[in-house]
Amino acid sequence: MVGALIMKFVIQIDASPHEAQAANTAYQFIKAALANGHHILLVFFYYDGVCNAQVSSFAGKDDLSGRWSALAREHGLDLVLCVSAAQRRGLVSAEGKDQGLLAPGFRIGGLGQWVDACLKADRILTFTS
C-alpha cells in the first residue's frame, strides 16, 4: 500500500490460552498486522502468558503453541518468555534453562528485552484478561 504508515509493534501477552481469549486475540492481531506490512519487534509473554509456550498433550492443529511456532517460522517472529515468570510457573529451570517443555520458536529472555524493544517500537500493546 503506497503511503500507508508502517509501524513497529511490541506485543505483550499476559494470559494463558486455556482460560482466556486474549492470547488468541493477540495472535489474530499479529497476523493482521504482518499482513498489512507492519513489523513485530517482539512478542513478550509475561504473567500466565508464558503458558502459551507449553505444548499440550492433546496438541492438534488448533493448539495455540503450535500456531505460534508456525507463525514464528514463517515471519521470523521473536517469541520471548520472561524468565522469572516462566520460572515461577516451573516452565524453565531455576538456572533459567529450557527443560524441553517449550514449543519451537519460543526463547527465554528478560524484562530488559521488553524495555529495550519498547524504546524502538512505535506501538506497544498488551493483551490481558
Residues labelled catalytic: 82
Residue 25 near other proteins by CB under 8 A: yes
Beta strand pairing call for 39-45 and 106-109: unpaired
**Between 98 and 116, CB nearer to other proteins:** 116
Cβ 125 to other proteins shortest distance, Å: 5
Q: How far is the CB of 11 from other proteins (least distance, A)?
A: 10
Binding flag, residue 56, other proteins (CB under 8 A): no
User: Of residues 61-120, which lie at the interface with other proteins (CB under 8 A)?
Assistant: 84-85, 88, 110-112, 114-116, 118-120
